[in-house]
């Protein structure tokens, strides 16, 4: 029941937002997302990590018939992993809404309505326990972000967003094929998660279906070589769109690996794990090198994001408890940090009109407070101890070490390379002499300060006191680990 | 059967309206009449009967499809009020309306035939009416071309159908589908070669009527040349009627003989999917685009035909409903845009989102439904057809269909991109009240069916 309310708040808010105009709609969206956050906090307090999601109707779950034939249930619920993603989404949404204040945007009511619709779809993806329902939400999440990028995006947006749309939709349709296969090849003819994790599909077929699912997720995450849509889309989408995409939407892919791939097709996963991990590492190194050479601020962050999620995916595919737990924790951390860096990039680009790091410099002198927030976020994303990424990356490295010590070496490389491009970027943009392009740098506005301060606080809060999050994900990591073992 | 008789009466009334000078009231009366027939039609539900010495038989299958056909015709009639506005049109409005009613009669016969003669009569009644309607813009070269081309190719296909019927009659000695079905069941292991040849000829004729590749070449030219409203009729009612008749024919007469035709049907299905979607990519004319999109949709419906042993009629029906409402909404918007901009090219839609955001959003929904993206009915139709085909062991065909859906998304998005990111042209575009209503009703049905498709999944 509580999950249903979590799902309905953004949907209703999205409909109401259509009828409001101007500044009012921003305030309304802020109130809606903050009340959603408050409600999430309440759900978090009543959540007592059950080992398996309740199948029957309970406090957190709801399972009603939707379509009789083929059998599809409206089955939503919360377990540790879902709740973690819901917390991430609901933490970030108020910040993303807040980022739009003090900006001139056309047709705000449609934009915020689409954002809230996206919020609804994202929550839906994370709480669905029926494969078909999950698929619907997965597709639904794509439509609002496509229109946000198409209508409010930057140069070349039509081509870039079309590529993004077709690319991700191609992945989804392959996943649909996978779900059809699972439906007709499980004894119970159902797509409920619990049933799917108990299937007995012959290992000869699991390999093929593994790729159907993996391609969908690899495109969304994105894992190299399926990443080509991402840097362009991130740099041409409006800031709030980029924040939604990088902060939350790409977590859909990582979450889905853990929910719908590893436990459902354990033999297929086991068969192809080495290839996937190799792909992830190639991706990590490749993306890091490009990020080091990159001079465009937004593209640099886009490639850094590819490197970071590549590490998370590799850790998940290490198939041990540390790797899975680290992946989950790191998803939360990365979501917060990436939203932070993209917002900083947007503040800089908005004020100086330039995104080329060679034409920037010395902003610290002009706006010391912004420099402080920015360095905290940068340090957070290079995984300095006491910041939120540290715990996650440490556990990921541990998991990969257990899988293979060479893998851990490569994974360690990401951390080093990450420090190289992030600190180099910070040095060029913020330190040194004031570049002639950056003579005036307006001080932070109240909403910008609020967003950055919240992110900075979150970075330290989860870095210093990660216990609640670790406790939240520990049981579910164990469970996914057990289910991912070859049956 | 009553549905058929009353519809024919409406057609006759249309002709008489000319004499009694009732042209002004004709459309409202016909709309009212169709609405009454629609509700009468529902009474035949679960009430199977045979009529005219086994010539026609009502079944839930025929009732469901008749209901859909009546609904589509109702929408077409409502749209025709603001479509036929020139003086030449007004002179002929009663003829047009009468012919439309007879088209519907043909479709109704195709849903409930139980004798080959009625199948042929139904198809011919439908086709001949359409030949006339396709060429009904007498002073336009393209319309003449469309009518003539459709007539030549269509009569060729009809000849195939007749020849097939004759051969099957020669082997079985009966025109009744029960008789042919009995023969097929009794001789399932050792069928007469002439029977199989007859069956294949009939299948070819039906493939032509549903515009499946490689018999699809008439469709784009005819769709482009015919008046837009008739194009809407052809791509919805006619296609669905042809598929329903195809399904009924194969499921009653040829189920056990289909092994021999399997290769033909699968190749045609795959070719239809790929040709329809690939050629649609390069179209600039919106009507041609919808024609090729219609061909690709024929490919998806062919999936229901090739997996016919698993009785996929519900899936076919759900798909038809989803396809019909989305197409009708798209055509209603397209006709409005054509009228204001004077061009049928996709560039006419440029910047529509800035001029009329609601209309652009509606066309977006229609396009997303046609592309098969949730939560619209088009997605569920596709899903159920795929699911049924999968169950019956056609995984490879489903895979081909999935790949072609991915290709298909491109050209539907082309229209959306034109509306949202191209600079606007100067024409003001505002649909009339009737059109607004039609668009709203169709899209609401699409969304409701998308959210609750359960009503139709186990209908038949």
> DSSP string spanning A303-341?
HHHHHHHHHHHHHHHT-SHHHHHHHHHHHHHHHHHHHHH
> Among B337, B128, B329, B140, which Cα is nearest to B225's?
B140
Long-range contacts of A196-205 (CB under 8 A, 24+ apart): A196/A131, A196/A260, A196/A263, A196/A264, A197/A263, A197/A264, A197/A483, A199/A264, A200/A487, A201/A265, A201/A267, A203/A267, A203/A268, A203/A271, A205/A181
Euclidean distance between CA atoms B177 and B317, whole angstroms: 21
| Residue A131 contacts residue A193 (beta carbons within 8 Å) | yes
Residue B115's DSSP bridge partners are B176
Contacts B373 to A, Cβ<8 Å: 139, 143, 169
pLDDT, one tens digit per residue, over B115-135 is 999 999 999 999 999 999 999
- For the CA atoms of chain A, what is the radius of gyration? 21
Contacts A158 to B, Cβ<8 Å: 417, 420-422
* Average confidence (pLDDT) over A253-267: 92
Q: Do B374 and A166 touch (CB under 8 A)?
A: no
Residue B324, token pair as written in the block:
């019909």
C-alpha pair distances (Å), A238 with each of A26, A37, A221, A243: 16, 24, 20, 9
Taking 90 as the threshold, does the pLDDT of residue A360 lie above it?
no
Q: Do B402 and A176 touch (CB under 8 A)?
A: yes
Q: Do A180 and B387 touch (CB under 8 A)?
A: yes
pLDDT of A328: 94
Contacts B379 to A, Cβ<8 Å: 139
pLDDT, one tens digit per residue, over B204-251 is 999 999 999 889 999 999 999 999 999 999 999 999 999 999 999 999
| Residue A356 contacts residue A479 (beta carbons within 8 Å) | no
* Average confidence (pLDDT) over A125-154: 92
Contacts B453 to A, Cβ<8 Å: 67
Nearest CA in chain A to B397: A177
Q: Which of B93-102, B160-169, B183-192 has the lowest mean pLDDT?
A: B183-192
Q: Which of A143, A173, A180 sits opposite B406 (nearest CB)?
A: A173
pLDDT of B376: 92
Taking 80 as the threshold, does the pLDDT of residue A211 lie above it?
yes
Distance between B189 CA and the closest CA of chain A, angstroms: 30
In the predicted model, what is the mean pLDDT of chain B?
91
Q: Which of A19, A70, A167 is the best residue to mutate to test the B interface, defined by the most B CB atoms within 10 Å of its own CB?
A: A70
Q: Do B374 and A140 touch (CB under 8 A)?
A: yes
Delimit the domains of chain B by residue range.
Answer: 2-457
Contacts A176 to B, Cβ<8 Å: 383, 386, 402
pLDDT, one tens digit per residue, over B19-29 is 888 888 889 99
User: Is the whole-model pTM more than 0.90?
Assistant: yes
Q: If interface means Cβ-Cβ distance under 8 Å, which residues of chain B face chain A?
A: 353, 357, 368, 373-375, 379, 383-384, 386-387, 390-391, 395, 398-399, 402, 405-406, 409-410, 413, 417, 420-422, 452-454, 457-458
* Residue A340 binned pLDDT confidence (cut-offs 50, 70, 90): very high
What ipTM was predicted for this assembly? 0.91
Residue that the structure tokens 């269909």 belong to: B401
């Amino acid at each position: 029941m509580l999950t249903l309310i979590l799902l309905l708040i953004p949907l209703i808010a999205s409909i109401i937002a259509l009828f409001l105009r101007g500044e009012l709609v921003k305030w309304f969206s802020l109130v809606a997302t903050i009340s959603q956050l408050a409600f999430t906090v309440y759900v978090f307090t009543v959540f007592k990590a059950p080992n398996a999601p309740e199948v029957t109707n309970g406090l957190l779950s709801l399972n009603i018939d939707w379509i009789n034939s083929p059998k599809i249930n409206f089955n939503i619920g919360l377990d540790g992993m879902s709740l973690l993603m819901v917390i991430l989404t609901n933490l970030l949404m108020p910040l993303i809404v807040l980022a739009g204040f003090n900006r001139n945007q056309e047709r705000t009511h449609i934009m915020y309505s689409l954002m809230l619709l996206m919020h609804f779809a994202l929550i839906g993806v994370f709480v669905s326990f029926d494969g078909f329902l999950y698929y619907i939400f997965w597709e639904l999440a794509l439509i609002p972000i496509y229109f946000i990028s198409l209508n409010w995006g930057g140069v070349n947006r039509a081509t870039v967003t079309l590529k993004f749309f077709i690319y991700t939709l191609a992945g989804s349709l392959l996943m649909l094929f996978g779900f059809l296969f699972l439906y007709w090849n499980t004894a119970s003819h159902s797509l409920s998660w619990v049933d799917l994790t108990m299937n007995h599909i012959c290992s000869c077929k699991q390999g093929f279906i593994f790729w159907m699912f993996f391609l969908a997720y690899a495109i969304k995450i994105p894992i190299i070589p399926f990443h080509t849509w991402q840097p362009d889309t991130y740099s041409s989408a409006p800031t709030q769109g980029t924040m939604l995409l990088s902060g939350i939407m790409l977590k859909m892919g990582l979450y889905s690996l853990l929910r719908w791939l590893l436990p459902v097709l354990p033999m297929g996963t086991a068969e192809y794990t080495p290839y996937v991990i190799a792909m992830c590492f190639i991706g990590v190194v490749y993306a890091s090198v490009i990020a080091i050479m990159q001079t465009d601020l937004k593209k640099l962050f886009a490639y850094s994001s590819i490197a970071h999620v590549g590490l998370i995916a590799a850790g998940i595919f290490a198939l041990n408890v540390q790797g899975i737990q680290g992946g989950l924790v790191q998803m939360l951390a990365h979501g917060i940090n990436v939203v932070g860096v993209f917002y900083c990039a947007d503040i800089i680009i908005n004020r100086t009109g330039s995104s080329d790091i060679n034409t920037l410099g010395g902003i610290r002198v002009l706006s010391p407070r912004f420099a402080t927030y920015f360095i905290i976020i940068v340090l957070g994303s290079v995984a300095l101890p006491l910041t939120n990424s540290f715990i996650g990356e440490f556990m990921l490295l541990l998991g990969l070490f257990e899988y293979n010590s060479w893998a851990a070496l490569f994974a360690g490389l990401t951390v080093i390379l990450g420090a190289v491009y992030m600190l180099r970027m910070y040095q060029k943009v913020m330190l040194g002499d004031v570049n002639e392009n950056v003579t005036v740098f307006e001080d932070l506005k109240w909403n910008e300060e609020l967003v950055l301060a919240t992110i900075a606080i979150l970075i330290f809060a989860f870095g210093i006191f990660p216990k609640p999050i670790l406790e939240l994900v520990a049981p579910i990591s164990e469970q996914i680990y057990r289910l991912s073992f070859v049956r | 059967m009553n549905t058929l008789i009353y519809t024919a009466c409406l057609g006759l009334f249309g002709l008489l309206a000319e004499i009694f000078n009732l042209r002004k009231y004709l459309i409202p009366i016909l709309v009212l009449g169709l609405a009454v027939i629609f509700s009468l039609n529902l009474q035949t539900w679960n009430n199977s009967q045979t009529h005219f010495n086994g010539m026609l038989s009502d079944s839930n299958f025929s009732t469901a499809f008749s209901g859909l056909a009546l609904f589509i015709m109702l929408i077409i009639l409502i749209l025709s009020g603001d479509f036929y506005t020139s003086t030449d049109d007004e002179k002929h409005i009663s003829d047009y309306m009468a012919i439309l009613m007879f088209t519907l009669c043909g479709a109704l016969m195709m849903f409930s035939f139980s004798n080959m003669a009625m199948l042929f009569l139904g198809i011919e009644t439908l086709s001949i009416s359409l030949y006339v309607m396709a060429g009904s813009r007498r002073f336009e070269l393209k319309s003449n071309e469309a009518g003539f081309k459709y007539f030549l190719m269509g009569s060729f296909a009809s000849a195939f159908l007749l020849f097939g019927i004759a051969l099957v009659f020669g082997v079985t000695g009966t025109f009744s589908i029960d008789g042919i079905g009995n023969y097929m069941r009794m001789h399932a292991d050792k069928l007469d070669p002439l029977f199989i040849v007859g069956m294949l000829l009939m299948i070819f004729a039906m493939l032509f009527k549903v515009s499946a590749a490689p018999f699809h070449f008439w469709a784009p030219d005819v769709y482009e040349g015919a008046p837009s409203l008739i194009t809407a009729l052809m791509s919805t009612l006619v296609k669905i009627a042809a598929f329903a008749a195809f399904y009924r024919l194969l499921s009653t007469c040829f189920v056990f003989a289909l092994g021999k035709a399997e290769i033909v049907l699968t190749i045609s299905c795959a070719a239809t999917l790929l040709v329809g979607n690939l050629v649609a990519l390069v179209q600039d004319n919106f009507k041609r685009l919808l024609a090729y999109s219609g061909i690709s949709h024929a490919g998806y419906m062919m999936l229901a035909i090739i997996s016919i042993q698993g009785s996929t009629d519900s899936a076919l029906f759900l798909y038809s409903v989803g396809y019909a409402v989305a197409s009708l909404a798209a055509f209603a918007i397209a006709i409005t845009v054509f009228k204001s901009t004077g061009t049928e090219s996709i560039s006419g839609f440029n910047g529509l989102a800035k001029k009329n955001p609601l209309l652009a959003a509606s066309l977006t929904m229609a396009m997303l439904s046609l592309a098969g993206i949730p939560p619209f009915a088009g997605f569920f139709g596709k899903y159920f057809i795929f699911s049924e085909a999968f169950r019956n062991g056609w995984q490879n065909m489903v895979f081909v269909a999935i790949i072609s859906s991915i290709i298909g998304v491109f050209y539907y998005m082309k229209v959306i991109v034109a509306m949202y990111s191209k600079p606007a042209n100067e024409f003001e575009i505002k649909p009339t009240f009737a059109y607004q209503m039609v668009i709203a009703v169709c899209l609401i049905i699409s969304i409701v069916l998308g959210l609750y498709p359960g009503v139709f999944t186990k209908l038949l």
